[in-house]
């Protein structure tokens, strides 16, 4: 016989969707190979940076949850994603104490201030990065070579700078690891300021200096595909953004192939792939309407190229995405879908 | 080669259909319960008015309540017996409703003793429509809209095509499926009656591809020059929603807030059509219906022909529970209603009783409701192309007026796709129901 209690609920009585924490957990899974590759590339400095920044993000979230008397939300993995992404956008030799600051700002200013998960207007990881970019302009543009010998036993000197001190110069260390021809510049900076192009293939496979996680475009694509196949990411956003980059840079390349880089170089260099797949696609700060998603992606792609070509800095992905985030409520407002039956389609009455 | 292409619509969801427990089971008649409860209001429109007195003896099929106006229907005695009393009784819809309680004579015959044969061909459309009203037939798919009202084409509109809805896109349900296999003759007679009364030239039966046997069975009975054709549709929820079906088959849209006849279409469910075919030629009233009783909580799942007014408790005793059954749903899992009590009767709109168990329930209830992360899954699922995410945001701020004026709340027909796909476990449909109810109250207050 039936139990004496009956359940009362409103329809629908069934559901089938991965829950929020399941989606977030899978994003973390997708980021792990990228982190591992970064550690392989840059050694224990990268490892330390990833751990410290992620830890800083989680502690900040726990701290603010406690302060505001809300239940602790670090179990939903979204803080961990912010931390990992943030670490991946920083230079490998970035001082750890600055990483702590970046993590604190990302979560404190970028997320909890707005009300936590689901309410942030801008991508929290990029807020953190934008802050340290402004606060520590030297440290964030100090690049170290990939595959330095001894990278698994020895920290890059700047990594261990004491809190609130200027990081030591890495000049002598650089001479110590003695990599021929290393100029301390990323392929993007080389291209922009010295017009030296880097082979697209080595960009694709990640054999170049740069931020911790922007190494291999191929690996990032594979990890992103995992999320897309599991239906946990809207593929339209990265696709639209990459298309926007191709179109814009293609147009400039056609105008002047000497002055402007070729589109493939633009596509695979810098943080573009990481930004397109893991940051622009951040669900919270992107539009939900089908046409809005397209416009949003194209807009970010366009901005990225414009900033890269005409801005003061070599890299433009971060500001492009932040501007895209800021524009997304507007984009959404003007791209509301046409609803069924909105236009009268009445047959002529005889 | 349009007829070869399987048709479908944009958006929607693919819930597991779970029909295999009952879709091969023939319809079986269930015994009479000792007492039947016939609510006077089982339909959309004014409640019927009783025409019997307490203690009166009635025979199976005899009218016991008459329609109160045009948008209303009569009711008939589902079994031979004595009128015990007329009083307020609980119904699945919630509020108590005036109901006729009929004590069934023990050993009462299953034969319908009331009615007379007549020739439909000799009747005018007007006569058919009033005959349909006399039979007490309403939309058996679950909407409960009186069929004779749907057969009356509004002035200024013409209906050129009749769509017969054999989609049965709700998981678990197999009543329509069985009707299409077992009552093809009645179905075709019913469709001809519909064509005659609305004055349409053709009828198209839309059936989802998971019911190929039904498609075959019906096609075998149709002559090539027939005005009736069968169209195979892709299996997708909510294909069987009236507006969606019209879009899929005819690529026409019903204007927002309008009727299907504005698009030159009229849509009827297969069960409704087959009841028309079964009852009208014999001048009989609707006294029983096929109900799928299924779900992991049922011992003997199947499709049962149940006398209207049979209390759910009796039905469940007949089919047997399993131990942990604790959630009864009238209708399908996407749009059905939970019942609070086993004392409610089976009415004309009950197409299924779905019994879920504790284990199943636990899987369906979200552990925790997260804030909306604006993933857009609901936007990509909504068959009407609304923006459920935005609507929910407004609902949480109680901006119910804006939901209607700017975001088309009233076009939502509560199919449940948005709640089904929401990773945050937000009960979106419930928000919309509240908003609609508040808006309705506000309108009434102003009026």
Reading the block at residue B307, the tokens are 């006398």
Which residue of B385, B413, B432 is the best one to mutate when testing the A interface, meaning the one whose CB has the most A CBs within 10 A? B385
Average pLDDT over residues A29-46: 92
| Interface contact A117-B385, CB threshold 8 A | no
Q: What is the pLDDT of residue B429?
A: 94
* Residue A159 confidence (pLDDT) above 90: no
| Interface contact A345-B372, CB threshold 8 A | no
> How far does B390 lie from chain A, in Å, by closest CA?
9
Residue A315 vs residues A142, A159, A216, B207: alpha-carbon distances, Å: 14, 22, 16, 56
For each of chain B's 447 residues, which pLDDT tens digit applies?
444 455 888 899 999 989 998 999 999 999 999 999 999 998 889 999 999 999 999 999 999 999 999 999 999 999 999 999 999 998 887 788 999 999 999 988 888 878 888 888 889 999 999 999 999 999 987 778 999 999 999 988 999 999 999 999 999 999 999 999 999 999 999 999 999 999 999 999 999 999 999 999 999 998 877 899 999 999 999 999 999 999 999 999 999 888 899 999 999 999 999 999 999 999 999 999 999 999 888 999 999 999 999 999 999 999 988 766 678 899 999 999 888 888 899 999 999 999 988 777 767 777 788 899 998 999 999 999 999 999 999 999 999 988 988 899 999 999 999 999 999 999 999 999 999 999 999 988 887
B322 vs A: CB within 8 A: no
Closest CA to A100 of A166, A163, A169: A163
Which among A115, A284, A339 has the least Cβ separation from residue B373?
A284
DSSP of B218-269 = HHHH--TT-SEEEEEE---BTTTSHHHHHHHHH---PPTT--GGGGTEEEEE
Please report which confidence band the pLDDT of residue A184 belongs to, taking 50, 70 and 90 as the band edges.
low
Rounded to 10 degrees, the C-alpha dihedral B218/B221/B227/B228 comes to: -10
- Residue B384 phi, psi (nearest 5): -95, -5
Q: What is the pLDDT of residue B143?
A: 75
Any bridge partners for residue B232, and if so which? Answer: B207
Which among A11, A21, A339 has the least Cβ separation from residue B429?
A11
Chain A positions touching B377 (Cβ under 8 A) are: 17
| Interface contact A19-B321, CB threshold 8 A | no
Share of chain A above pLDDT 70, in %: 91
Q: State which residue of chain B sits closest to A337, comparing Cα positions.
A: B385
User: Distance between CA A56 and CA A110 in Å, rounded?
Assistant: 14
Chain A positions touching B333 (Cβ under 8 A) are: 11-14
Rounded to 10 degrees, the C-alpha dihedral A155/A158/A160/A164 comes to: -170
Q: What is the pLDDT of residue B6?
A: 59
CB A299 within 8 A of CB A276: no
Provide ipTM, 2 decimals: 0.84
Chain A positions touching B316 (Cβ under 8 A) are: 2
Q: What is the pLDDT of residue A29?
A: 94
Residues A131-156 have pLDDT tens digits of: 999 999 888 888 888 787 778 888 88
Please report which confidence band the pLDDT of residue A2 belongs to, taking 50, 70 and 90 as the band edges.
very low
| Interface contact B256-A342, CB threshold 8 A | yes
User: Distance between CA B203 and CA B364 in Å, rounded?
Assistant: 39
Q: Lay out the sheet containing B81-89: strands in order across.
A: B35-39, B97-104, B81-89, B57-58
* Residue A244 confidence (pLDDT) above 70: yes
Per the confidence metrics, is the pTM higher than 0.95? Answer: no
B433 vs A: CB within 8 A: yes
Which among A8, A289, A344 has the least Cβ separation from residue B387?
A289
| Interface contact A339-B429, CB threshold 8 A | no
Which among A11, A285, A347 has the least Cβ separation from residue B334?
A11
Residues B53-62 have pLDDT tens digits of: 999 999 999 9
Q: Which of A40-49, A188-197, B6-15, B332-341 has the lowest mean pLDDT?
A: A188-197
Q: What is the pLDDT of residue B360?
A: 72
Q: What is the pLDDT of residue A337?
A: 87
User: Distance between CA A64 and CA A74 in Å, rounded?
Assistant: 11
Q: What is the pLDDT of residue A154?
A: 80
> How far does B172 lie from chain A, in Å, by closest CA?
12
Q: What is the pLDDT of residue A148?
A: 78
B369 vs A: CB within 8 A: no
User: Distance between CA A101 and CA A342 in Å, rounded?
Assistant: 51
In chain B, what are the domains? 2-23+116-282 (3.40.50.11540), 377-446 (no CATH)
Q: Which of A64-73, A165-174, A304-313, B410-419 has the lowest mean pLDDT?
A: A165-174
* Residue A205 confidence (pLDDT) above 80: no
Average pLDDT, chain A: 86
Q: What is the pLDDT of residue A350?
A: 35
Q: Lay out the sheet containing B28-29: strands in order across.
A: B28-29, B302-307, B288-294, B352-357, B325-330, B337-338
Residue B180 vs residues A269, B26, B44, B279: alpha-carbon distances, Å: 61, 11, 26, 17
> How far does A344 lie from chain B, in Å, by closest CA?
5
Residue A3 vs residues B319, B325, B331: alpha-carbon distances, Å: 16, 7, 21
């Amino acid at each position: 016989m039936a139990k004496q209690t009956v359940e009362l609920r409103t329809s629908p009585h069934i559901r089938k969707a991965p829950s929020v924490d399941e989606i977030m957990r899978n994003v973390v899974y997708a980021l792990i190979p990228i982190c591992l590759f970064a550690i392989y590339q840059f050694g224990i400095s990268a490892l330390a940076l990833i751990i410290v920044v992620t830890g800083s993000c989680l502690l900040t979230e726990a701290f603010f949850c406690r302060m505001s008397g809300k239940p602790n939300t670090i179990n939903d993995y979204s803080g961990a994603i912010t931390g990992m992404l943030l670490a991946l956008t920083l230079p490998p030799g970035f001082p750890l104490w600055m990483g702590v600051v970046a993590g604190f700002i990302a979560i404190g200013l970028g997320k909890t201030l707005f009300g936590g998960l689901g309410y942030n207007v801008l991508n929290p990881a990029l807020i953190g990065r934008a802050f340290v970019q402004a606060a520590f302009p030297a440290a964030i543009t100090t690049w170290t070579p990939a595959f330095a010998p001894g990278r698994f036993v020895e920290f890059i000197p700047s990594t261990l700078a004491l809190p609130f001190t200027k990081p030591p110069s890495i000049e002598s260390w650089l001479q110590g690891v003695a990599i021929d021809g290393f100029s301390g510049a990323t392929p993007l900076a080389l291209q922009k300021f010295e017009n030296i192009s880097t082979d697209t293939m080595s960009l694709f496979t990640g054999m170049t200096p740069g931020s911790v996680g922007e190494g291999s475009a191929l690996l990032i694509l594979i990890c992103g595909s995992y999320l897309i196949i599991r239906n946990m990411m809207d593929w339209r956003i990265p696709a639209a953004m990459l298309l926007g980059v191709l179109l814009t840079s293609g147009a400039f390349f056609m105008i002047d192939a000497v002055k402007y880089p070729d589109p493939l170089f633009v596509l695979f260099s810098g943080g573009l792939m990481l930004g397109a797949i893991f940051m622009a696609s951040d669900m919270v700060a992107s539009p939900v309407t089908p046409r809005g998603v397209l416009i949003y992606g194209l807009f970010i792609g366009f901005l990225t190229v414009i900033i890269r070509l005409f801005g003061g800095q070599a890299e433009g992905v971060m500001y492009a995405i932040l501007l895209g985030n800021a524009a997304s409520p507007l984009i959404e407002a003007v791209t509301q879908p046409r609803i069924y039956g909105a236009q009268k389609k009445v047959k002529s009455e005889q | 080669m349009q007829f070869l292409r399987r048709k479908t619509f944009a958006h929607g969801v693919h819930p597991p259909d779970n029909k295999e427990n009952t879709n091969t089971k023939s319809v079986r008649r269930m015994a009479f319960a000792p007492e039947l409860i016939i609510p006077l209001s089982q339909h959309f429109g004014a409640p019927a008015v009783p025409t019997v007195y307490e203690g009166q003896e009635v025979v199976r099929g005899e009218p016991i309540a008459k329609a109160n106006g045009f948008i209303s229907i009569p009711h008939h005695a589902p079994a031979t017996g004595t009128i015990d009393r007329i009083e307020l009784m609980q119904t699945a819809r919630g509020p108590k409703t005036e109901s006729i309680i009929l004590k069934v004579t023990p050993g009462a015959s299953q034969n319908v003793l009331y009615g007379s044969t007549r020739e439909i061909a000799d009747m005018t459309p007007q006569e058919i429509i009033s005959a349909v009203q006399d039979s007490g037939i309403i939309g058996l798919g679950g909407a409960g809209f009186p069929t004779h009202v749907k057969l009356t084409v509004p002035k200024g509109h013409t209906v050129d095509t009749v769509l017969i809805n054999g989609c049965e896109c709700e998981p678990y349900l197999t009543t329509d499926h069985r009707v299409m296999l077992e009552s093809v003759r009645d179905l075709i007679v019913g469709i001809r009656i519909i064509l005659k009364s609305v004055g349409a030239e053709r009828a198209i039966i839309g059936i989802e591809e998971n019911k190929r046997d039904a498609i075959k069975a019906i096609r075998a009975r149709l002559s090539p020059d027939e005005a009736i054709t069968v169209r195979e549709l892709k299996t997708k929820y909510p294909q069987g929603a009236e507006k969606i079906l019209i879009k899929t088959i005819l690529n026409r849209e019903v204007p927002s807030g309008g009727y299907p006849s504005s698009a030159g279409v009229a849509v009827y469910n297969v069960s409704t059509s087959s009841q028309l075919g079964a009852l009208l030629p014999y001048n009989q009233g609707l006294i029983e219906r096929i109900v799928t009783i299924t779900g992991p909580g049922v011992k003997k799942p199947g499709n049962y022909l149940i006398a209207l007014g049979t209390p759910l408790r009796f039905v469940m005793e007949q089919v047997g529970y399993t131990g942990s059954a604790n959630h009864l749903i009238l209708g399908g899992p996407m749009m059905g209603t939970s019942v609070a009590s086993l004392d409610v009767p089976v009415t004309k709109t009950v197409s299924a009783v779905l019994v879920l168990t504790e284990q199943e329930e636990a899987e369906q209830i979200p552990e925790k409701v997260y804030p909306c992360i604006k993933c857009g899954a609901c936007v990509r699922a909504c068959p009407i192309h609304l923006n459920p995410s935005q609507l929910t945001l407004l609902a949480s701020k109680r901006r119910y007026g804006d939901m209607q004026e700017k975001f088309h709340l009233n076009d939502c027909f509560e199919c449940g796709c948005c709640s089904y796909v929401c990773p945050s476990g937000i009960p979106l449909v419930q928000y919309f129901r509240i908003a609609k109810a508040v808006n309705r109250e506000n309108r009434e207050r102003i009026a």
